[in-house]
Structure 1
């Protein structure tokens, strides 16, 4: 028993609770525990802490002192952090042993970070992956890097080497409607079917930035570009062998810290631009599930975890938090790709769900509101039309 607890257990009086309070407050005062002293003062004064049952008396005193002990709150805080880390910032690994031979997958924003590791894992499982990136030179460099990698894990699941024809580089700028349409036309004319589309690309900026149309940049990069792309690719979003086509949209746990204004025509709300865009990502996945399920298309949103990637490069304070202060909570890019890979493989995927640590989780209640979800879809269509019209002027 610690000296603190041993001494504190002796702070008892055989008379009234008021005396007990006075003694404990006096003891806690040496630690300047003003908050704890206030808690003690809130105890009902007419309660007898010590009675005729010595065991109950000792138990009650022990519990009371533990509640007042500063070390107790440290233990509680550490325990809470452990649970949060395990549930939302853990290091899950996709253990499914399915292969993707003969299937074509599109992954956006995959020249680095989570996207690159997603491509690597899916390709080593036999998939043919179209790497859609804004900078074609960087995309080709990433492709060459992947071709030099080897995988020595289970030979029955992973190929040791990748074949050059498994990785195809394509230019795609999600801030340009013209680039998106050109990419979609190339894919539709060349590919018979795309059973898996992974909307991985994203960005985080230090502040909200608005364009000439009043559209916030987070919204444009993280949602509108993918919204238009997914809609244009719908004719070839098909799967074979009776399976369903999958649209996987990378979101974030930060969507919990956003709230949309349902009556806004610009999909604005309370929270950072990044958090708002990530809430809209969750809603987008749910709306695809509702609107396109009859076409054999399912969709989910994914929280990859707090990953050490270049997405924070434009926001120095977030970069510092992720890479240094909270490094113990963060993941490598490969670890961050595991939930995406799981959603690409799982045969029991729950369409419309929000996935984290390779399993479905609760999402923001606004994403469950049909009226808000419908508003997001309709407003997105209107913003896309306005966006494309402006680009043609």
Structure 2
């Protein structure tokens, strides 16, 4: 019902400004990450585009500057599949930036063939969850000092088809690329819930979201029949600019100041799956993530 109601709601728009604010967006060189960067740059924010491929990142930076009319845009190297890169990026931000008001955990890999990150995680859970978990952990003190601040993690409705396989988080016993993707997107929703609890009273709020079915590079790993289905449904899908709207909404909508830990779709609160509200599993995943990275959250 929520989805049908959202179809008939007026499109969300806001003239909210972000002058003097600093924003980090992971995976900002393409798709909804790039569109989010353009919009928030237009609102006056300093944009830090965190990109794995610096050549593509620099090309995208030019585009963001041209489209937004803002020169306050930088591109920095970040490979979420490698903790060395994550630590180097976070160190550069912590040393070089006096504040970080908005962190958008946007980068993702989708239904890719089985592979592992530099740290031995299955690629989808490794990039989509563990990489962003470590990044957020390393930046959290700066984010807290910059409060009011927001942490936004791009999930997907695919989270509702997933389950967290705590006994085989890296899909080593069996690998189904769709299941592994859904697991990683469910992890995004659970991470946001757990993070919200730990940030109560700090002035830092956190949100997860479904951007919509968006035409992006993430489709490149779909097989022939899946590609054909996507072509058929493409008139009902969103382009990258439309897909970025809920990320932008979570970044700037003033009324969300009083909300934290929730899930959004079509620029409105949405219902996540029952698994996405399982706080016991969320805590187990949190503990496992801390153990995997040998970190503790204060």
Asked if Structure 1 and Structure 2 have the same fold, meaning a TM-score greater than 0.5 normalized by the shorter chain, the answer is: yes
Change (3 A) 1:259 1:87: farther
SS in 1 for 2:199: helix
| Alpha-carbon distance in 1 for matches of 2:218, 2:118 | 24
Which residue is equivalent to 1:256? Answer: 160
Change (3 A) 1:84 1:308: farther
1:143 partnered with 2:61: yes
- Give the gaps of 5 or more residues in structure 1: 1-82, 150-160, 387-393
Which residue is equivalent to 1:320? Answer: 228
SS in 2 for 1:237: helix
| Alpha-carbon distance in 2 for matches of 1:245, 1:220 | 25
- Give the gaps of 5 or more residues in structure 2: none
Which residue is equivalent to 2:268? Answer: 359
1:113 partnered with 2:31: yes
**Mapped contact 2:50–2:76 kept (Cα < 8 A):** yes
Pick aligned residue for 2:197 from 268, 290, 309: 290
CA RMSD between the two structures: 2.5
1:266 partnered with 2:169: yes
**Mapped contact 2:81–2:118 kept (Cα < 8 A):** no
1:122 partnered with 2:40: yes
Which residue is equivalent to 1:163? Answer: 70
Alpha-carbon offset, residue 259 of structure 1? 1.9
| Alpha-carbon distance in 1 for matches of 2:234, 2:24 | 31
Alpha-carbon offset, residue 266 of structure 1? 2.7
| Alpha-carbon distance in 2 for matches of 1:139, 1:92 | 34
SS in 2 for 1:272: helix
| Alpha-carbon distance in 1 for matches of 2:75, 2:8 | 32
Which residue is equivalent to 2:283? Answer: 374
| Alpha-carbon distance in 1 for matches of 2:34, 2:8 | 20
| Alpha-carbon distance in 2 for matches of 1:138, 1:357 | 29
**Mapped contact 1:107–1:131 kept (Cα < 8 A):** yes
Q: TM-score, normalised by structure 1?
A: 0.68
Which residue is equivalent to 1:329? Answer: 236
**Mapped contact 1:289–1:351 kept (Cα < 8 A):** yes
Number of residue pairs aligned between Structure 1 and Structure 2: 288
